A = this chain, B = another copy of it.
């Protein structure tokens, strides 16, 4: 996570200020529940809320931690400085540090997920808009980087939309999975604290109680969360690579928006490089690199070891901040993408009519020609186009073996672009519920 690829709202979720605020809320709600159970005095629980509007002094907490070498104790000491040591006496009672740390981390991940879901909504909206805008904008489809048959640019956007919509559902599921709270004590047995405290805190924070914890919330939940971020990043990469390809000099079917004052290169003023989507390709690698360590974090020893902590202190902010930035950047790229329908048609026609060879092949077999013969007939005319720049339709019409089974009109019909787009509405109906 570096400022260059960060947005403030996501960054703020991971600030020390936010973290201490969440710690405070966990402790304060736990005190309420403890007071309700009669474990601690009601006045003590109420006193904790005196810090409700306090700003916690991060530098002061760091200072205390430098001595105690324990972050939660440092925080509690500082809390005592605010609300009075006597009033703070019952705070954290029966709890273990991880109750606070893990519940807080999940709160942060849930908030991060909510931002990411909003990002995805914006991206979906942009993709949908461009999809309908270019529903009928015909361009060549390519397999293996080689011209295949016509598609529309709107279809490309619809594919991206469907993929991102799946990703949205995955993230929603991962958010649900990560939205748990554990206040279960040193080894998860609730020996020193009633499960009711966990239930209360969970409800106040919009979480569910973790059914069974150890000292920590089980890390398979987090592994799943980061795995989903990795899949989303991979989808971003796919769309970015598509745009990079379409912006290649020889293709130039789309271009990233290029603001008037922007300089493309220090030396080559005509260059407009797809630097945003190239950047997204790299950002995808960054998000994805969190997946393996998050999985390695699962196998903690016994009721916990702390090896996961340093990993999460990094990948928690890094993966979410980077993905937030990437989603926003991609949304902007899509929304502003300059599309060149004329270039799309020029490319589609590059090999005069060859794009229709599949239809001709089919027509020949439907006329009773064997698959092998039809293939041979199409291939020999296609090769004239490929090698000598001939026009495919003209060649077919002078091929006596072809003309023996097809009429000119029948051949003409096989070169109709509308044939390829006739089911686009049906596909849009599937993807968007309308066309």
The CA of A89 and the CA of B370, in the complex, are separated in Å by 7
Residues of chain A from 262 to 299 with CB closer than 8 A to chain B in the complex: 262-263, 265-275, 278-279, 281-286, 288-293, 295-299
A69 surroundings in chain B (CB, below 8 A) = 259, 261-263
A284 surroundings in chain B (CB, below 8 A) = 299
CB-based contact A303/B241 at 8 Å? no
The CA of A283 and the CA of B424, in the complex, are separated in Å by 35
14 additional A-B residue pairs with CB within 8 Å, beyond A269-B375, A275-B306 = A73-B263, A97-B265, A143-B273, A212-B431, A224-B231, A227-B231, A227-B291, A230-B291, A248-B248, A250-B350, A270-B382, A273-B306, A282-B297, A285-B307
A166 surroundings in chain B (CB, below 8 A) = 177, 220-221, 224
CB-based contact B278/A288 at 8 Å? no
A223 CB–B CB distance under 8 Å? yes
A338 CB–B CB distance under 8 Å? no
Contact of A191 among B76, B286, B313, B422 (CB under 8 A): B422
A145 CB–B CB distance under 8 Å? yes
A423 surroundings in chain B (CB, below 8 A) = 189-191, 195
The CA of A357 and the CA of B191, in the complex, are separated in Å by 13
CB-based contact B290/A357 at 8 Å? no
Given the contacts A250-B350, A306-B278, A423-B195, A295 and B234 also touching, CB distance less than 8 Å: yes
The CA of A23 and the CA of B301, in the complex, are separated in Å by 37
- Dominant SS at the A interface? helix
Give 1 or 0 for each of A122-141: 1 = CB within 8 Å of chain B CB. Answer: 00000000000000000011
A358 surroundings in chain B (CB, below 8 A) = 186, 192, 267-268
Report the interface size class on chain A: 35 or more
The CA of A306 and the CA of B282, in the complex, are separated in Å by 8
CB-based contact B144/A305 at 8 Å? yes
The CA of A234 and the CA of B263, in the complex, are separated in Å by 32
A19 CB–B CB distance under 8 Å? no
Given the contacts A85-B370, A220-B235, A73 and B215 also touching, CB distance less than 8 Å: no
What are 21 sample pairs from A and B whose C-beta atoms fall under 8 A apart? Answer: A70-B265, A73-B263, A76-B266, A141-B187, A142-B302, A143-B265, A144-B301, A146-B249, A146-B272, A147-B249, A149-B189, A149-B191, A191-B359, A220-B234, A223-B231, A242-B302, A268-B358, A279-B310, A282-B297, A282-B307, A286-B310
